[in-house]
Amino acid sequence: MIKLEKIFELTNPFISAASGLVVHANKIFVISDDENFLGIYDFETQTGLKSILFHELLPDDKLLRKKQKGDFEALIDLPLLKKLLVVPSGSTQQRVRGALLFENGDFAQEINFAPLYSLLAQQIEEINIEGGLTFQDELWLFQRGNGVGNKNALIVLNLTDFLSQQPLQPRVLAISLGLLNNVPLSFTDATKADGLILFLAVAEDSQSTYLDGTVVGSVLGLMNKSGEILETMVIETTSKPEGLSYNPLEKCFYIVTDDDDHTRPASLFRGELPKAWQKYFSAL
């Protein structure tokens, strides 16, 4: 089991439903699935500021907020462009608006995911994108299979074509994650790790991409660039881990959580990779 060290709670600015994470040096960038801003935190002061993505005010009522939120589920580092990409889930027709941000977190432009998600709907019954990363000019998106059929998938497309609204030919690769405590596992995020991929998967007892369920456990997984799962190990947490970032210098990872409770702040955790996994990195 992988133990986690709690670093701090995301209280200033306050984020409860943390869903995407990028860590750059001394800065922590966090998006939430039910806010319209990016939280930018300092490691030392554990406080930060908001970078406004969209100016619409969301209602305080839980059900109304769930209906109207943008459901931003992934924050992807684009190192070649020195930008960040905010990815919506696509789990409803209203959840298709994303954003391109400058490297410091400032808003750059709105990105419309609707054409891509309409194309993916021809192969995926219930779209629910929860993670992503880039390899050179490839954009990898991770479909969370927590809907009908529990179909997790990896989607690969050309990043330049996507950002310039050119015709796309995405490749969809079905990924089997198995069960944890008799509940299907489904992706919640992924990140590059020295030529490999680290991913988070959660066993959430729900058959809906819209409704939350009871989280019975979570795992950290290791995948190669062919989509082959090399290892998985249970994470010691009762929270739902939804955002993941890797530190190549310290060979550690960071996680942010979502407890599906708007009154409780999300937390940032740090973890070490299992020693048994080092053989995959040394073979690169």
The percentage of residues in the chain with a pLDDT greater than 90, rounded to a whole number, is 79
How confident is the model at residue 212, as a pLDDT?
A: 62
Structural domain for 62, as ranges: 4-282
Instruction: Average the pLDDT over 257-265 and give the result.
Output: 88
Cβ atoms of 239 and 259 closer than 8 Å: yes
| pLDDT confidence tier of residue 283, bands split at 50, 70 and 90 | confident
Phi, psi (rounded to 5 degrees) for 147: -105, -155
Q: State the total domains in the chain.
A: 1
pLDDT tens across 13-38, in order? Answer: 999 999 999 999 799 999 999 899 99
How confident is the model at residue 69, as a pLDDT?
A: 82
How confident is the model at residue 195, as a pLDDT?
A: 92
Q: What is the mean pLDDT of the chain?
A: 92
User: Mean pLDDT lowest for which of 44-48, 49-53, 58-62, 122-126?
Assistant: 58-62
User: Above 70 in pLDDT, residue 55?
Assistant: yes
Q: Take residue 27 and report the two structure tokens written for it.
A: 């800065």
How confident is the model at residue 209, as a pLDDT?
A: 47
DSSP state of 273: P
Tell me how crowded residue 139 is: count the other CB atoms within 10 A of its CB: 24
Could you tell me the sign of the dihedral formed by the alpha carbons of 108, 34, 247, 10, in that order? positive
User: Above 90 in pLDDT, residue 174?
Assistant: yes
User: Above 80 in pLDDT, residue 91?
Assistant: yes
User: Can you tell me whether residue 104 is helix, strand or coil?
Assistant: coil
Q: Please calculate the CA angle 118-88-23 and round it to the nearest 5 degrees.
A: 140
Reference 159, options 132, 137, 142; nearest CA is: 137
Q: Take residue 51 and report the two structure tokens written for it.
A: 């970078």
pLDDT tens across 200-212, in order? Answer: 999 987 665 445 6
- Angstrom distance (rounded) from CA 133 to CA 123: 21
CATH number for the domain spanning 14: value is 2.120.10.100
Instruction: Average the pLDDT over 213-238 and give the result.
Output: 93
Phi, psi (rounded to 5 degrees) for 49: -150, 170
Largest separation between any pair of C-alpha atoms in the chain? 51
